[in-house]
Amino acid sequence: MVLAVLSGLFETSLLHLTIEGVLLLTVVYLVFRMNRPNKDRSSHRLTEKQKDELIAEWVPDPLVPETPQDHHVLNPRFADGKMTKNVSIEGQTYLNMASSNFLSFIGESRIEERTKQTIFKYGVGSCGPRGFYGTVDVHLDLEAELAKFLHCEEAVLYSYGFATVSSAIPAYAKKGDIIFADEGVNFAIQKGLQASRSRVEFFKHNDMEDLERILKIQEEKDNKDPKKAAKIRRFLVVEGLYVNTADLCPLPKIIEFNGSTRSVCSSTKAGLLESLERQEERNEGALVVWRLFGILKSLTFPFKMKRGIECERKMIHR
Amino acid sequence: MCFFFVEHKNKEPRHKRRLLLPGFHGCRESSNQRRPAPCCSCHTAIAICFIADCTSSSLQKMAPDDVNRRSAFRIFHRFPVRLTFGAKSEAKTVTQSKKRQQRENEADDLKRLAERTDILECAWHRRNDDVDEEDLEENLAETEAKNEPNVDIYGDVGSRADNEFEQIGGSTVIMVYICWVMLFVFAYVRDIFRRLGFVADKSNKELEKLKSFVPLFSDFEAFYQRNCYIRVRDVFERPICSVPGATVDLLDRVSHDGNWTYEYPGTTSKVINIASYNYLGFAQAAGPCATASVNSIDEEGVACCTTVHERGRSVSQAKLEALVAEFLGVEDAICFSMGFATNSMNAPCLVDKHSLIISDQYNHASLILGCRLSGASTKVFKHNDMGSLEKILRDAIAYGNPKTHRPYKKILIIVEGIYSMEGSICNLPGIIALKKKYKAYLYLDEAHSIGAMGKTGKGIVEYWSCDPKDVDILMGTFTKSFGSAGGYIAGSKKTIDHLRVASPTGYYSSPMSPPIAQQIYSSMSIIMGRDGTTDGAERIERLARNSRYFRLRLKQMGFIVYGSNDSPVVPMLIYFPSMCGFYGREMLKRKVGTVVVSFPATDMTEGRVRFCISAAHTKELLDEVLRHVGELGERSGSKFSRKAHLYRDQKIEW
């Protein structure tokens, strides 16, 4: 076979061989040229002495700016005792219209008794993450109860309301995905969107026409490149009751759009929005991540405080 | 340096035994579909992605010239014939000689830099070469002179235990890779079988109505979850049903379908708990801390139902903040309800896109998320490597931001006190020296070290006899040593005032629950000796003794243990992913609860068992654990260390 190739070589014309030879040499030359270190680089580099000079010159900004000392956050007034419907501040009693104790579970003695019993059984902290001996049986019970309550297959607990949505969004939406989000979503959701590294398209607050418009734009893009479109996951992020503007999201309309998008619906005040929830259940396509922020207010403290959850469970079924 | 390259000896027959890990059992039919829940390992995997991203982007930033070299037009710069003509030869020789000179200068500078860097390889790296350490030791001597008693339970400050990272031979590493390859080959086979319908698919999958959607879980992560993690899922997420003290009651569970679902027969088993972060043993269901937190419920209720800015912190949280500041010896402190969010939400308040974050290679996921959210450029330095840190600092100041070509406005170095997966202690004196020299700011995460380290439990700053005022941001959590939940940031009043006003958690999240704050307050008071007993000091000393004893005994038995001898986090290297399942299950059979960690939480070749020592452990409990570990080490051949002979004759006292 080698002979055949060699004889073939001799049969081809000399011109052919020369051109191929030249081409081959050019390729070899270029390859070796590329691997040689770039001489121009040294001109971009600074010597250590030059660096020292620059370092001596450099003046960093202060770590934090000055804060005006009369800022109201720096001069708080503390409420004595529990934050029930009445609150006492510096000896005077006021009607409490400020805290979000919607269902008035603060100060409920049944809950508090149960909480105390739980501390005396489990201690206060779980001393470990969920994966490593930090899951307490109470967590599992509550997760099961919550799933039942929300008519979902499963539920997962987070220890901090604020962190729930901001870590749940990046768990699903990855780089290259698209998130359609309402402009009015709260800060925690915005942080989640930022952390997800997906492309975020905002539509005007509660404006379904605007949402339709950006979905159409996306559809046109998809039609141009259907191969790519088949790999992009889409999410729709809205809030049940907008904490910034206090209005409800038009869930039935949003569900109509849901043919092509998963909706991550974060409801801030789920306990008050039961009717809304029920609508949501019918939308089997929606992937519901509930923020357990205010279902019943005993949940607002970290779930690592197992006792709160246990009494929580009792209350739901009463 | 603290790296030891160990000659490999012939161990093949043992390793071959370990290769047969994935089997086909446990995949019976069931139509039960599971809704995807973002579990702990998902988050770990995400964190790993973040790390990978940060690293790759930082690499790009570090070598802008290489990027230029790859540009499409480079060929035109290299034409053999130049388009300019004239007397070039003279100029050429001049430039050449200049360049040569420059290169020589550079080499000299580099040498000098290397020497200077060695100064910063602090006392515990080069204990015997005192020549270069004069400055540092002078500093230390000064601080020691101020804080009079310079010898504590850890010994002399100048000779702290160094971080050890004993390396294994290359062929063992290859065996580990072969093990992984086998695991993935079988995983693919399983996936094929599942697709063909021979075995039931019980993994997370789309509902029937969502078939037209782009699948939510189709990537490698889900594949790993479905085929690899599920094989050893019984080792993780074990539910407990008692206080996680020296012993803990585990809720028994059985799985009949290969770990997809569990059944709980309702029985419990008591195991020795060498896994929880209960360093000082404050996870207690009785005693002064528990009583105090229960009493605080009567006073303040279980929650505040408001945000920090709307109706303010609870009284107990305000009290706690004052105590934390006093405990750490700084001007002010602020507390948050969750340790993870303390990092991820507050780092963005300190730096912006004009700043640079220099982060340690092994920083925790929360810090990495904080870096991402802040929008600052991020560079990663090699774990605890002062040379690498100094080089990055110098280049960052000299070259500025490679994208905008503007100098950075500020540079923030982020490190941890004790690294939770490595058990190593950060070289704080070295980092403070560098930070001062290059006018950078320092963010120290003491999640694991606060309470657990230092003569009076004040963390890594006290351990090194450093001044807490040299650290700009002291961060820590209450989840570990204090047996509670939440985190703090402490520092100068100006810094904390800014955080109080600017931190998003103030506007949007609820303050600490009173009983949680009270638990921290009580336990911290005990550590400070405010209760009139020596209970706190005794706990700290017991923890230090326990850690040292446990670590030395493990090393004596021939296991590779990473980190410093003083650290209560004890990662014991077992390398093979298959051994994680083995250790987790066998230890449970012997009534010991341990944590096993493997990829993606660690490097692929560095699976490990992690023990967390507690002051609640007695010597008898530790001896029992050591006995079981020793037996398992014999059985599985995981005593990889080649340095055991150094400890053979050492008398290890508790």
What are the chain B neighbours of A130 within 8 Å (beta carbons)? 39-40, 237
**Mean pLDDT across B561-570:** 92
What are the chain B neighbours of A73 within 8 Å (beta carbons)? 308-309, 500-501, 506
Between B106, B297, B407, which is nearest A58 by CB?
B407
Determine which of A34, A132, A137 to mutate to test the interface with B (most B C-beta atoms within 10 Å): A132
**CB within 8 A of A204, min separation 6: which ones?**
A183, A210
The pTM for the full model equals 0.75
User: B112 in contact with A at a CB cutoff of 8 Å?
Assistant: yes
Query: How far is it, in rounded angstroms, from Cα B142 to Cα B157?
Result: 12
Whether B8 has a pLDDT exceeding 50, the answer reads: no
Q: Residue B329's pLDDT is what?
A: 92
Whether B305 has a pLDDT exceeding 50, the answer reads: yes
Query: How far is it, in rounded angstroms, from Cα A306 to Cα B293?
Result: 14
Asked if B305 contacts A301 with a C-beta cutoff of 8 angstroms, the reply is no
Asked if B477 contacts B342 with a C-beta cutoff of 8 angstroms, the reply is yes
Residue of A nearest to B298 (CA): A112
User: B469 in contact with A at a CB cutoff of 8 Å?
Assistant: no
- For residue B215, the 8-state DSSP code is P
Q: Are B485 and A33 in contact (CB < 8 Å)?
A: no
Q: Are A33 and B78 in contact (CB < 8 Å)?
A: yes
Cβ count near A313 (within 10 Å) = 17
Beta strands in B500-575 (DSSP E): 569-575
Determine which of B510, B516, B520, B611 to mutate to test the interface with A (most A C-beta atoms within 10 Å): B510
Q: What is the pLDDT of residues B503-532, one digit of tens each?
A: 888 877 788 888 999 999 999 999 999 888
Q: Residue B206's pLDDT is what?
A: 66
The two structure tokens encoding residue B590: 């012997």
**Residue A14 pLDDT level (bands cut at 50, 70, 90):** confident
**CB within 8 A of B202, min separation 6: which ones?**
B27, B30, B32, B34, B257, B258, B260, B261
What are the chain B neighbours of A191 within 8 Å (beta carbons)? 345, 373, 504
Residue of A nearest to B481 (CA): A127
Query: What SS3 string covers A185-239?
Result: CCHHHHHHHHHHCCEEEEECCCCHHHHHHHHHHHHHHHHHCHHHHCCCCEEEEEE
Q: Are A128 and B440 in contact (CB < 8 Å)?
A: no
Q: Are B294 and A298 in contact (CB < 8 Å)?
A: no
The pLDDT > 70 percentage for chain A reads: 74
Q: What is the pLDDT of residues A221-276, one digit of tens each?
A: 888 888 888 788 888 888 877 877 888 878 777 777 665 555 444 433 333 333 33
Whether A80 has a pLDDT exceeding 90, the answer reads: no
More confident residue, A222 or B59: A222
**Residue A288 pLDDT level (bands cut at 50, 70, 90):** very low
Q: Residue B408's pLDDT is what?
A: 93
CA distances from A269 to A255, B348, B522 (A): 19, 27, 34
Q: Are A61 and B506 in contact (CB < 8 Å)?
A: no
**Could you give the angle at the alpha carbon of B257 between the alpha carbons of A310 and A309, nearest 5°?**
5
**Measuring CA to CA, which residue among A262, A224, A178 is closest to residue B210?**
A262
Q: Please name the amino acid found at residue B258.
A: G
Q: Residue B592's pLDDT is what?
A: 93
Asked if B566 contacts B544 with a C-beta cutoff of 8 angstroms, the reply is yes
Q: Residue B40's pLDDT is what?
A: 38
Comparing A254-258, B389-393, B614-618, which segment has the lowest mean pLDDT?
A254-258
Q: Calculate the average pLDDT of chain A.
A: 73
The two structure tokens encoding residue B179: 């093990």
**Residue B209 pLDDT level (bands cut at 50, 70, 90):** low
Query: How far is it, in rounded angstroms, from Cα A128 to Cα A182?
Result: 36
Query: Quick check: bond before B504 cis, omega within 30?
Result: no
User: B102 in contact with A at a CB cutoff of 8 Å?
Assistant: yes
User: B96 in contact with A at a CB cutoff of 8 Å?
Assistant: no
Beta strands in A39-188 (DSSP E): 79-80, 86-89, 92-95, 178-182
Whether B285 has a pLDDT exceeding 60, the answer reads: yes
Q: Are A66 and B78 in contact (CB < 8 Å)?
A: no
Query: How far is it, in rounded angstroms, from Cα A104 to Cα B38?
Result: 31
Residue of B nearest to A229 (CA): B214
The two structure tokens encoding residue B144: 């020691």
ipTM above 0.85, yes or no: no
Q: Residue B388's pLDDT is what?
A: 93
**Residue B82 pLDDT level (bands cut at 50, 70, 90):** very low
Q: What is the pLDDT of residues B130-145, one digit of tens each?
A: 434 444 445 444 444 4
Q: What is the pLDDT of residues B210-223, one digit of tens each?
A: 666 777 766 787 88
Asked if B490 contacts B324 with a C-beta cutoff of 8 angstroms, the reply is yes
How distant is the Cα of A100 from the closest Cα of chain B, in angstroms? 5
In total, the C-beta contacts within 8 angstroms joining chain A to chain B are 341
Determine which of A33, A41, A44, A63 to mutate to test the interface with B (most B C-beta atoms within 10 Å): A63
